[in-house]
């Protein structure tokens, strides 16, 4: 007979969620949407299921200074919570994701960075979540049937978000977004973070997006 049984959650993967104050969400998001339309419009036609993504330099534009301030403040808290020793950190890339109706965002991660994150600008009802996937491939070698999903057997964890949510997570953690099953545009702004000592050599983006109409100042 056991006196006590405990399940220890070792090596947890933390998702840090920050919610912008309610009174500030609408003005901030309206300004961000207007800036994105100015920089990205008119956008090229897309095949079904595709997404518009901007170039990764949004953090260099003055129109996004308020968002950059939020990202930097939240990132400092995340690094300090992990007791990481660092001189400084930099945003190595920041870009918009615009999901038209029917567009998903397949599972992926963000190589060559320490942290990644996303800020939610426009979130239609019904597509208000981001999915995180178990990064351990060996978990799929044996998959017993279960009577229900719980914290001990799930391979995917869905996190609820809303307009004004800023999420930060390990850059290596796979994540995805379900198809946009609404008639509205879903808009988020993603970013990557790296400690400044490493950023110059291994963290610059390796892909390009919709070319912006003017260079950053």
> How far is CA 186 from each of CA 89, 139, 173, 206, rounded to the nearest angstrom?
29, 32, 22, 24
Judge whether 22 lies within some domain.
yes
Vertex 207, ends 97 and 56: CA angle to 5°? 50
Whether the Cβ atoms of residue 95 and residue 58 lie closer than 8 Å to each other: yes
Q: Tell me which residues of the chain have a pLDDT lower than 50.
A: none
> How far is CA 123 from each of CA 15, 48, 95, 188, rounded to the nearest angstrom?
19, 20, 17, 8
pLDDT of 210 reads 84
Judge whether 159 lies within some domain.
yes
Say how many C-beta atoms besides its own lie within 10 A of residue 161's C-beta.
Answer: 21
Look up tokens 């208000």; give the residue.
128
Judge whether 114 lies within some domain.
yes
Say how many C-beta atoms besides its own lie within 10 A of residue 141's C-beta.
Answer: 7
pLDDT of 207 reads 73
Judge whether 95 lies within some domain.
yes
> Which structural domain range is residue 102 located in?
16-40+51-135+153-202
Look up tokens 């920050």; give the residue.
18
Contacts of 189 (CB under 8 A, 6+ apart): 32, 58, 64, 67, 94, 95, 96, 97, 118, 119, 121
Judge whether 56 lies within some domain.
yes
The helix (H) or strand (E) run that includes residue 78 is: helix 65-81
Closest CA to 135 of 168, 174, 102, 90: 174
> pTM (2 decimals)?
0.90
Judge whether 122 lies within some domain.
yes
Which CATH number goes with the domain that contains 186? 2.60.120.620
For the chain, what is the domain count?
1
pLDDT of 203 reads 66
pLDDT tens digits for 134-145? Answer: 998 888 888 899
Judge whether 217 lies within some domain.
no
pLDDT of 187 reads 97
pLDDT of 201 reads 66
Judge whether 147 lies within some domain.
no
């Amino acid at each position: 007979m056991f006196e006590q049984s405990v399940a220890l959650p070792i090596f947890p993967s933390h998702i840090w969620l920050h919610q912008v104050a309610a009174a500030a969400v609408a003005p901030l998001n309206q300004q961000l949407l207007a800036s994105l339309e100015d920089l990205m419009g008119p956008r090229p036609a897309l095949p079904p299921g595709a997404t518009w993504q901007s170039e990764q330099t949004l953090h260099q534009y003055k129109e996004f200074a308020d968002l950059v301030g939020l990202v930097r403040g939240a990132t400092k808290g995340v690094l300090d919570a992990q007791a990481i020793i660092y001189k400084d950190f930099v945003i190595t890339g920041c870009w918009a994701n615009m999901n038209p109706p029917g567009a998903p965002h397949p599972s992926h991660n963000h190589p060559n960075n320490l942290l990644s994150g996303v800020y939610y600008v426009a979130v239609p009802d019904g597509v208000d979540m981001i999915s995180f996937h178990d990064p351990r491939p060996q978990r799929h070698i044996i998959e017993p049937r279960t009577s229900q999903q719980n914290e001990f057997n799930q391979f995917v964890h869905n996190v609820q978000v809303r307009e004004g949510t800023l999420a930060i997570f390990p850059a290596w953690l796979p994540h995805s977004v379900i198809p946009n099953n609404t008639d509205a545009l879903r808009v988020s702004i993603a970013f990557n973070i790296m400690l400044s000592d490493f950023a110059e050599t291994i963290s610059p983006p390796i892909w390009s997006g919709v070319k912006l109409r003017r260079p950053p100042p």
